[in-house]
Amino acid sequence: MNFTLKVLGTASALPIIDRYPSAQVLDVRGRLFLIDCGEGVQVQMRRMGISFLKVEAIFISHIHGDHVFGIFGLLSTMAMLGRTGKLEIFAPRAFGPVLKFFMSYFGEGISYEIEHHPLLMKEPEQIFECKNLQVSAFPLNHKIDCFGFLFRETEPQLNVKKLEIAARGLGLAEIATAKRGEDIVREDGSVIPNEAVTYKPYEPRSYAYCSDTAPFPELASWVKGVDLLYHEATYPQEMVDKAALRFHSTAIQAAECAREAGVKKLIIGHYSSKYPDLSLFLNEARTVFPETELTQDRDVIDIPLKKL
């Protein structure tokens, strides 16, 4: 029942010795989802033991090189490894010509289907659903079309209390009714309220990914209450004017979003290559939101199951 984030890259713009460009893999109960695809993503996946062929879908925030330069090599490698299943890519409309170029020059030998789903929304919208997971996308505030993603486990089916089954003599049909969340109506007209015999086994977990963006008022409400928020923090506060000019955020601005949203934990990344020592980012963010951590390349962050 794992819900685990694997961080492949944390750099912005320029890769440096110990930081690759943006890429993450979210592992939801063994199902893998790639978020952004910066240069070197394949090397990092190899280092972390992540299967290329198990990636079910790719989510690209925007078409800046440090978020997408790794896609050509990855798609080609998937073909060489014998991928046959369809690959869905959720990316801005501008990704369409990029994919067309790739297929026209390097598509020979790719026998699996690649489907691009253009992101066009102006407010949060569900874009993907599979067993146990729903994914929504929402616009960010960057120089070009850029989108964030919210991954949330689906609500679990209710469990029926074993003691109540015996005490009330519940039959199979009544148990099935209760698991659907309905009250049990018996032949004599009596009603057993659903909440009297069921319980929710766990609280769905959630992760929000907010890369390149300047602050804007709606964002906190769109990621409200998530268990884990990744928010870019390209600059420390001394560079706040440059951050605004380039439509990025400072560590303090990321923390302010986390505080307003009431998230459980904030992780920051997408650091400017100008700063080899990241302690400044962490110290500044924690003055606003103490539950902040830095992301480092090859971090593994588990969101534990919250049993009720």
d(CA 212, CA 41): 18
C-alpha separations of 93 from 69, 98, 118, 146, 229 in Å: 17, 10, 5, 10, 25
CB distance 2 to 30 below 8 Å: yes
66 is catalytic: yes
How far is C-alpha 148 from the chain's CA centre? 8
Which is it for the CA torsion 77, 296, 244, 274, positive or negative? negative
- Catalytic residue (one of 27, 36, 66, 145): 66
CA distances from 119 to 98, 154, 240, 284 (A): 15, 22, 29, 33
Torsion angles phi and psi, residue 80, rounded to 5: -65, -30
Structure tokens at 144: 């070009």
Which amino acid makes up residue 267? I
Amino acid at 215: P
Indicate which residues carry an active-site annotation. 66
